[in-house]
Structure 1
């Protein structure tokens, strides 16, 4: 059953990306809404046999992908209100990804947060994140008001997601699974960066294909990073 869910997810992703590349927007919209539910189904099938041990991962992964699905639907419209609502939905989804890795039995709470290595990594990361957020804000034209605050807040949660992943990799928690989690957090930066540029500045060739390719891969890698420790 797990492989059936995975095959359906991969097939749906390929079809959706093909529509994006061909600029068949209506068909791409119609197939987009199936992606995260299929990934959630695959994750649930993988984690269910390990309940109750995998309970935290099970709940948080399904919630993260559920909010991702809601965000996908909201972003089918380009209106400012729906864009902000979609960003808020993804914001909530990222919180669940972080919570899963921090508080799961194999997660980042399992190692010492107070060591010297942690503070050194934190300092380097926070400096880099500050530069990235400031550069992004300027690149997007210094958006004002709620939109500007939303850009900073959403960028902040992406940084927190990435930092959680870096911390897990350096600390050796969950082995190779943490590398999937880290790769997913990086791809989310790329996907949302391209999306924000097309919304605030101007469109680029094949922007939807690039955004969805990196987004789908990011969600799949984050899910893999949460599922594999229980495999």
Structure 2
């Protein structure tokens, strides 16, 4: 079995390659590097730290669903987007269960709730949600609302775990999704797709490591 350190090196190398591919518009490289990054993080979830069995199970499930979501989002069209959205939503729930299994600190959870409220209030509710409705009607808008609620739960529970690494990872993960939604349904933001990929990979790594070593 590969060690945590080696898996992190693989994930880091694949992640940087993916960022380079996104920045230079090398789609064929991205198609290989993005799933490889998450596959290595699945391995990290399986071996890092000394997490109890239930936490380990939820972490591996969350990372695997992230890999499924990555592969789905490499496709084009609404079907691929909805498949990716669904995989990530269930993955966020798995991470939330992992975080709750490590403990729950009300003060941390309250801070996480304030952050999610600010993130939802800043452009998501006034711009991204109407944009999703215009783009795909009430069904897509409803799916986006459910997804926002699930990722908010993931952030709140990660902050509530009392692990700064998990809280930072969940925060970056949420910011990545916020940027992705805005760019898809409203318009471009500085950094383009790179502003989605970088916080996504760093966030996943910190979230997994934080909860695995809590």
Which of 178, 183, 193 matches 1:193?
A: 178
Which of 100, 107, 131 matches 2:103?
A: 107
Partner of 1:33: helix, strand, or coil?
helix
Q: CA distance change for structure 1 residues 217 and 128 in 2, over 3 Å: closer, same or farther?
A: closer
What residue is the counterpart of 2:64 in the other structure?
66
Do structure 1's residue 140 and structure 2's residue 128 form an aligned pair? yes
Q: Offset of 1:151 from its aligned partner?
A: 1.3
Q: Which has the larger radius of gyration?
A: 1
Unmatched 5+ stretches in structure 2? none
What residue is the counterpart of 2:29 in the other structure?
27
Deviations 1:183-229 (A, max 9, x none): 11111221111111121122345422111001001100110111122
Unmatched 5+ stretches in structure 1? 170-177
What residue is the counterpart of 2:40 in the other structure?
38
**Does 206-215 or 66-75 show the bigger shift?**
206-215
* Count of residue pairs brought into register by the alignment: 207
What is the TM-score when the length of structure 2 is the normalising length? 0.86
Q: Offset of 1:132 from its aligned partner?
A: 1.9
Distance in 2, Cα, partners of 1:221 & 1:165: 11
Distance in 1, Cα, partners of 2:30 & 2:195: 13
Do structure 1's residue 8 and structure 2's residue 1 form an aligned pair? no
Distance in 2, Cα, partners of 1:135 & 1:13: 28
**Does 126-135 or 10-19 show the bigger shift?**
126-135
Distance in 2, Cα, partners of 1:34 & 1:5: 11
Task: Answer yes or no: is the 8 Å Cα contact 1:16–1:31 preserved in 2.
Answer: yes
Deviations 1:30-82 (A, max 9, x none): 211111110111232224xx4xx621121111100000000001101231121
Distance in 2, Cα, partners of 1:5 & 1:153: 33
What residue is the counterpart of 2:193 in the other structure?
208
Which of 141, 147, 154 matches 1:154?
A: 147
Q: Offset of 1:179 from its aligned partner?
A: 0.7
Task: Answer yes or no: is the 8 Å Cα contact 1:100–1:107 preserved in 2.
Answer: no
Do structure 1's residue 97 and structure 2's residue 95 form an aligned pair? yes
